[in-house]
């Protein structure tokens, strides 16, 4: 058996630095640490936000515990029922008006990860709070190349009036480094791929991208010799894991290359190895970004991540699922059966995209389990019913068992009004962030 590998081992070559998945040779569970305890895979935390609330009758189960019946919307993640909990009764008080009038959509995003009540302004004097992902990154972010990643499918804005006098900075940014510092999202899967797998410095990255453009090479071609050298000294189980991982990286890279139609020269050769930019089809765009999330966690590039499907108050239509009206317009359904049915279809479409991520994470073995098991992933919205604009009894799903820290497969109903930040404070503690409080928390949420 080879010498134990460092968790930070990289495959290198010509401006490329490729992180590796957790291998048995990296202080695996069967190897004992100096303290005599088994080494455990790292824990990840992530937050996925959907806009305009939820059609709650199709979301919230009526029974509690392990034997609850999946609702029509939750049926979309039925294959992962044993690996998530549905949490009801959690409340986001910071998203309420508190005398500020309209603007529930912008407030719901600004408050979702901060628990704060944002100052109502569309000027430069924005004021919010630090978000849970950034607060946690202050404790553990130095353990990975990226302290956190901020991702989405629609670009962030930092100025303008987006919702009843609230700045677009509130409506389009989920993550906040501090009260006046929103973290802009990366929405281009190709750009994210380059961040994860190009060089460790700006100069190395530019060199790698330049050579790839010129010779139309895969990023793996640069590190091929290093990969072969490592492969020769690994035990069989790690050789298989390495092969599967490198195949996944190349597969994603190929799909990035096909995200938009390439122009061809007369001999049929593409002008470029792959285009930059965002895929036009939302489903393809989302699935590529979910592949990036999987690779980021698999390589331990980061352990903290936030993701917005669309910005607050999005009025996008979803013609691919036969919804031609705008999402925001439909959310003000006025109890119209047609509009509620359309909203439910959009909710299911978003959850389908999330289900794709759950499947990708579960397919990656890690230690004695898999990436999904070794994660805590929140999916939900800061608005409950889009017509009422209420911020209590929120639609929240918590996927992953946190490395065995919680029992999954349940609907857990809390007293309505329980701060959502109680969940976040508990998650921070599991990540190793010894915070006494967060946002409007009143204590640790009980997940036993």
Contact of 339 with 61, CB cutoff 8 Å = no
pLDDT tens digits for range 328-352: 999 999 999 999 999 999 999 999 9
39: pLDDT confidence band, cut at 50, 70 and 90? low
**Percent of the chain at pLDDT exceeding 70:** 83
Phi and psi at 415, nearest 5°, equal -60, 130
pLDDT 10s digits, 357-367: 999 999 999 98
Tell me the mean pLDDT in the region 60-88: 98
CA distances from 301 to 15, 67, 206, 234 (A): 17, 37, 20, 22
- Sorting pLDDT into bands at 50, 70 and 90, what band is 214? very low
Q: How many degrees, rounded to 5, is the angle at CA 344 between CA 343 and CA 347?
A: 90
Query: What is the model's pLDDT at position 28?
Result: 45
Q: What angle do CA 400, 18, 202 make, to 5 degrees?
A: 115
Does residue 92 share a domain with residue 170?
A: yes
Is 301 in the same domain as 392?
yes
Q: How far is 151 from 241, CA to CA, in rounded Å?
A: 27
Asked if 334 and 369 sit in the same domain, the reply is yes
Write down the pLDDT at residue 248. Answer: 76
Domain check: are 297 and 378 in the same one? yes
* Closest to 303 (Cα-Cα) out of 428, 192, 188: 428
Last residue of a domain, one of 258, 277, 296: 277
| Of residues 313, 436, 293, 292, the one with CA closest to residue 382 | 313
- In what helix (H) or strand (E) does residue 149 lie, and over which residues does it extend? strand 149-152
The DSSP H or E segment spanning 176 is strand 176-178
HSE (side-chain half, CA atoms, 13 Å) at 119: 11
- Domains held by the chain: number: 2
Tokens of 338: 């047609």
- The predicted model gives 386-398 an average pLDDT of 97
Residue 235 domain boundaries: 199-277
**Boundary (domain end) residue, out of 277, 297, 316:** 277
Range of lowest pLDDT (17-21, 211-215, 265-269, 335-339): 265-269
Q: What is the pLDDT of residue 266?
A: 42
At 101, which helix (H) or strand (E)? none
Q: Is residue 378 within a helix (H) or strand (E), and if so which, with residue range?
A: strand 375-380
On whether residue 38 sits in a domain, the answer given is no
Whole-angstrom distance between the N-terminal and C-terminal Cα of the chain?
40
Whether residue 102 sits in one domain with residue 175: yes
Residue 327 in any domain: the answer is yes
* One domain for residues 177 and 320: yes
Looking up tokens 């499947």 gives 359
Residue with more model confidence, 20 or 115: 115
Asked whether residue 69 falls in the same domain as residue 136, the answer is yes
């Amino acid at each position: 058996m080879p010498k134990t590998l460092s968790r930070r081992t990289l495959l290198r070559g010509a401006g490329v630095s490729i992180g590796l998945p957790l291998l048995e040779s990296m202080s695996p569970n069967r190897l004992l640490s100096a303290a005599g305890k088994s080494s455990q895979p790292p824990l990840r935390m992530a937050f996925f936000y959907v806009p305009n609330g939820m059609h709650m009758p199709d979301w919230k189960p009526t029974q509690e515990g392990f034997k609850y019946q999946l609702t029509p919307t939750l049926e979309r993640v039925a294959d992962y029922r044993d690996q998530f909990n549905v949490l009801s009764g959690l409340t986001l008080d910071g998203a309420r008006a508190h005398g500020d009038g309209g603007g529930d959509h912008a407030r719901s995003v600004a408050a979702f990860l901060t628990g704060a009540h944002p100052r109502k302004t569309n000027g430069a004097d924005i004021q919010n709070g630090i978000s849970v992902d950034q607060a946690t990154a202050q404790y553990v972010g130095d353990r990975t190349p990226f302290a956190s990643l901020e991702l989405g499918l629609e670009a962030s804005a930092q100025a303008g009036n987006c919702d009843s006098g609230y700045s677009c900075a509130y409506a389009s940014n989920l993550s906040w480094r501090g009260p006046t510092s929103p973290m802009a999202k990366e929405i281009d899967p190709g750009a994210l791929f380059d961040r994860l797998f190009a060089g460790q410095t700006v100069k190395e990255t530019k060199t790698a991208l330049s050579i790839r453009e010129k010779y139309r090479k895969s990023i793996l071609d640069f590190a091929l010799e290093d990969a072969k050298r490592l492969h020769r000294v690994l035990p069989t189980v790690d050789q298989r894991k390495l092969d599967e991982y490198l195949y996944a990286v190349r597969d994603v890279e190929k799909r990035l290359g096909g995200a938009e139609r390439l122009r061809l020269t007369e001999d049929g050769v593409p002008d470029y190895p792959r285009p930059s930019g965002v895929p036009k089809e939302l489903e393809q765009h989302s699935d590529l970004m979910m592949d990036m999330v999987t690779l980021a966690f698999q390589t331990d590039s980061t352990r903290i991540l936030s993701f917005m499907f669309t910005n607050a108050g999005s009025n996008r239509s979803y013609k691919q699922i036969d919804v031609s009206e705008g999402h925001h317009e439909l959310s003000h359904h006025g109890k119209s059966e047609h509009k509620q049915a359309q909203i439910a279809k959009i909710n299911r479409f978003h959850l389908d995209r999330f289900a794709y991520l759950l499947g990708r994470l579960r397919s990656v073995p890690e230690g004695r389990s898999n990436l999904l098991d070794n994660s805590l992933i929140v999916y939900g919205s800061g608005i409950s019913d889009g017509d009422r604009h209420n911020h209590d009894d929120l639609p929240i799903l918590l996927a992953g068992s946190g490395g065995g820290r919680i029992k999954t497969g349940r609907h857990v109903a809390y007293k309505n009004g329980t701060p959502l930040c109680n969940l976040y404070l508990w998650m921070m503690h599991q990540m190793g962030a010894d915070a006494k409080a967060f946002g409007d928390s009143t204590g640790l949420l009980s997940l036993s």
